[in-house]
Structure 1
Amino acid sequence: MDHDIIVSGGGIAGLTASAAFASAGFDVLCVDPAPPITARDAKGADQRSTAFLQPARQFLIDIGLWDRLAPFAAPLQIMRIIDAGGPEAEARMSKEFDASDISELPFGWNLPNWLLRREMSAHLEDLPNVTYRTGVGANTLFTRTTEARVGLSDGTRARAHLIIAADGRGSPMREAAGINVKTTRYGQKALAFSVTHELPHENVSTEIHRTGGPFTLVPLPDFEGKPSSAIVWMEEGPKAKALAEMSVPTFEEAMNTRSCDVLGHLTLNSARAVWPIISQHAEQLSGERIALVAEAAHVIPPIGAQGLNMSLNDLRALLDLAVARPEGLGDATMLDAYHKARIGDIRMRVAGVTMLNRTSMLSAPPLRDARAAGLNALYSFAPLRKSIMQMGLGAKG
C-alpha cells in the first residue's frame, strides 16, 4: 500500500486532517490542485477568518497544532448581537453573551484564514509521515473492499486504505463516489475583508442584523499598531456585487453606515473577497473506502462560527474511530460508524443556521420588529441563554 490515508484538499480542513492522522502515526498523502496562498496581500488570499471554539482548540492542542497558532489568535470573550432593523441604520437593541457565564475560557479564538494555511502548511512540512503535494489534485476514484485507488491530475495514481474528501463544496471525490447532496440557495453573497478601527474591540465579536444577512465584526490582533477586525458582510447577491465593485471611499462610507459605529470609524485594510452563501449537506458521509468531511460533507452560512468547528468535529470522530481500531482503517464498519456518529448533529446544525440566516435576511419592518422581540426574549430567560451558548460551543441539545 502506498499510504494509509489520502487527503483530497489542502484547505484548512484538509491540512488539519493531515496533521491529525499523522499525529496518530498514520502515513498520509495530502494533495491539493492549487498551491496555498500564504501572504496577506497576495492575489487570491483568503480574507476570511476562522473562530476556533473551545472544543476545536482542544482538538488542535491534542494533534500538536495549537502551539503554532496561539501567538496569532485573538480571543473571543463576548458575543454581541445587535438589532438595527429600525427605520435608520442604528443599533436599537444590543445583547451580550459573555463566555464567563458558562466557562473560565473565552468562547473561541479567531485567526485569519491565509495565516492558518501558512502555519498549517509549514507544520505538515515538518512531519515525517506526511507527503504534502500542491499543484496536484485527486480526480478519479476506484474502490474495492480492501483499498482505494486515486487518479491524480499529474497522471499518476496512489493507493490507500482510506480516502478523506476535504475538497470543498464541489468535492471531486464525493462526486466520484456517487454521493448526492441537498442544497439550499439564498440569493446571498458574503463580502470578506478586514479593517482597522478607532475603538478597541475588547475581544467582543459583534453581529449586526438589519436586512440581507448579518454584518459580523470578529476580533483580530492589532494591525500596524491599530485595533483590527475581520468582517463578513452578507447581502443579497446584486447588492454584494455592487459593494465589491465600489471605489474604496464609497465602500468605506457604506460599511461605516452598516456598522452602526460600534467600533468608531472603520478603515478598509485588505482586499474584498466575495463568496456565495448556501446550505448543503451530503446524504451520506461515507462510501466504500471514503469519508466526507468539512465542506465536502456540509456547508452553512457564516453565522455563529459553526462551519469549521463542525468540520473539526468530523475529524475528531473519524480519528477516534481510526485509533480505536487501526486494523480496520477505512473498512465498512469504521465508515458506517462515522456516518452514524455525525449525521444527526450535522442535520440539526444545518437546519438551525438556515433558520437563523433566513431570520437575518428579513426586510419587512414588522418582521424585523418580531426578530428584535425574539432576541430580547431569548436573552431575558437566563437558562435558555446559557443553553444556547453551550450548544454554540458544540454541546448536543
Structure 2
Amino acid sequence: MDRIKTDILVSGGGVAGLTAAAAFGSAGFSVICTDPDAPVTDRDATGADHRSTAFLHPSIPVLQAAGLWERLTPHAAPLQIMRIVDAGGPVAEPRIVKDFDAAEISDQPFGWNLPNWLLRREMVARLRELPNVTFLPGTATARVMTREAEALATLSDGQRIAARLVVAADGRNSTVRQEVGIDVTTTGYGQKALAFAVAHAIPHNNISTEIHRSGGPFTLVPLPDRNGGPASSVVWMETGPEVARLAALPVAEFEAAINERSCGVLGALRLDSARTVWPIITQAAERMVATRVALIAEAAHVMPPIGAQGLNMSLADLSALLDLAMANPASLGSAEMLATFERKRHLEVKARLAGVDLLNRTSMLGEPFLRDLRAGALNALYSLGPVRKTLMKAGLGVR
C-alpha cells in the first residue's frame, strides 16, 4: 500500500487534538487527524462527555486562529468570578467565602465555559470546512517509526502515513508516546471525579464556585441556561470508594448528597445528565519531543481538574507549536523547531503540575486542624491585594 503524505498527523480526536487539527489546517498545512473512537456530539447519547471546559482568555487567540471561536461563543458561559468556599468546619456549610473577580486584572472575564460534548460537535463541523484536513474517526494511530526526514505511521485500518510532524494528542495512555519511547512519571491520589450537569434554583451569575471540605473540591461551573433555567456543570472529587458509592446511588439519594455537599450555594440542585467517573492523577512525560514528534495535552501532562488548568495548558502547548510552525513552515518538524518547543514548554509544564499537585493535596485534607490551617491560609492570601492579583494572573498563565 502506498504511503499517504501529509504535513502533520494529529493522533487523537479529543478537544485538544481536534483544536490542533483545525489550527494547523487553518494555517494552510495539510493535516490528517485520527481518533480511535467516533466523537460523541449529542448531549443525551451514550458515552457523551458531561465534563465542561473553561477556556481562559489567554487561550482564545489559538481558538480564533483555528476558526473555532466564532462557532463556540454563542454557546459559552462567561466566568467573571472564581469563588472559593471553605466548608471545612464541623458542619457542611460555608464558613469562609472569597471572590476572585476578573475585573481586578482585566476588562475580560477569566474565561468561558462550554460542555465537552458540544465542543466536539462544533470542532468536527469546523474540520469539515477545511479541504486540507482529513478526519478519520474510528481509526487509531497504531504504529509510529521516526527518522530524520519524516515520521512513518501505520493506522489501525492499515493505511500508511508519511508526515513531517506527528502531534501526539492521544491522551494519558498515548500510543505515539509509547512508540517513540518517552517515559512518564505518574502520581496517584486515591481519588476519582464524578462529572455531571445540574439545574439549580439560584442563578450562577457567571460565578464558578469551588467548595472545599475534604476528599477534594466540589466545583460548580456556569453553563448557559437550559430549558429556561440556570444550569452548571459539576466536578466532584472524592476518594475512589466514595465516588463508586455516589455513582451507584439512586437519583433521589444522589441529589440529596449533592445538595448537602454544595452547601446550598445555588439553592436546590437537580441532576440533569448522566454521571461519569474519571480517575485523578498527575502525570508528566520525561520530555515533550522525539524525532519528528511533539507531545501536547494529556500525552504530555495530566493533572487534577483544579483551576481550569488542564486544557488551557494543552492549548498553550498548541499555541507554542503553531507559532513555531508558522514562523518557518519549511522547518516543520525539524530538530531545531522541536528543541525550541521543548525549551518553551517543558519547564512551564513541570512548574504548573507541581502547583496543581499542591492545591489538590490541600483540598483533600480531612483532619479538622489541617482544614483550619487551609481556611486561615485562604483568608491571609485573599486579604493581601497584590498577592491576590498575582495569584489570579498566575492562574491565567499571564504575567
TM more than 0.5: yes
Letter in 2 for 1:321: L
Equivalent position of 2:41 in the other structure: 38
Structure 2 CA distance for aligned equivalents of residues 63 and 100 of structure 1 = 27
Q: Does 1:146 align with 2:160?
A: no
Distance 1:226 1:13 in 2: 30
CA distance in 1, matches of 2:230, 2:26: 36
Of 111, 114, 122, 2:114 maps to 111
User: Counterparts of 2:341 and 2:38 in 1: how far apart (Å)?
Assistant: 30
When the two structures are superposed, what TM-score results if normalisation uses the length of structure 2? Answer: 0.99
Residues 58 and 398 of structure 2 are in contact (CA less than 8 Å); yes or no, is this contact kept in structure 1? no
| Partner residue in 2 for 1:382 | 385
In structure 1, runs of 5+ residues without a counterpart are: none
One of 113, 116, 127 as aligned partner of 1:124: 127
Q: Which amino acid aligns with 2:171?
A: G
Q: How does 1:144-293 map to 2 (within 5 A)?
A: 144-293=147-296
Q: Say which SS state the counterpart of residue 128 (structure 1) adopts.
A: coil
Counterpart secondary structure, 1:44:
coil
Tell me the C-alpha RMSD between the 2 structures.
0.7
1:67 and 2:67 aligned: no
| Residue matched to 2:358 | 355
Offset, 1:63: 2.5
**Cα distance, 1:256 vs. partner?**
0.2
Report if aligned partners of 2:96, 2:375 keep a CA contact under 8 Å in 1.
Answer: yes
Cα shift readout 1:7-53 (whole Å, capped 9, x = no counterpart):
00000000000011111110000010100000001111000000000
Answer yes or no: is the 8 Å Cα contact 2:67–2:126 preserved in 1: no
Counterparts of 1:323 and 1:61 in 2: how far apart (Å)? 15
Question: Which residue does 1:28 correspond to in 2?
Answer: 31
**Distance in structure 2 (CA, Å) of the matches to 1:340 and 1:183:** 22
2:84 corresponds to:
81
Secondary structure in 2 aligned to 1:2? Answer: strand
TM-superposition CA deviations, 1:205-242 (whole Å, max 9, x none): 00000000000000000110110000000000000010
* 1:53 equivalent in structure 2: 56
Query: 2: distance between equivalents of 1:30 and 1:80?
Result: 38
In structure 2, the partner of 1:364 is 367
**Separation in 2 of the partners of 1:148 and 1:355?**
38
TM superposition outliers: structure 1 runs of 4+ over 2 Å? none
How far 1:334 moved relative to its partner? 0.6
1:331 aligns with 2:363: no
Which residue of 1 is the match for residue 303 of structure 2?
Answer: 300
Q: Structure 2: how far apart are the matches of 1:357 and 1:324?
A: 38
The one of 6, 27, 42 equivalent to 2:9 is 6
Displacement of 1:324 after TM fit?
A: 1.1
Output the CA distance in 2 between the equivalents of 1:320 and 1:261.
45
Identical aligned residues as a percent: 62
Q: Which residue of 2 aligns with 1:136?
A: 139
Deviation at 1:277, TM superposition (A): 0.1
Instruction: Supply the AA of the counterpart residue of 1:353.
Output: V
Residue of structure 1 equivalent to 2:395? 392
3-state SS of paired residue (1:127):
coil
- Equivalent pairs counted in the alignment come to 396
Q: 2:107 & 2:223 partners in 1: Cα distance? A: 21
Q: Is the 8 A contact 2:50 2:273 kept in 1?
A: yes
Cα displacement (A) at 1:109: 0.1
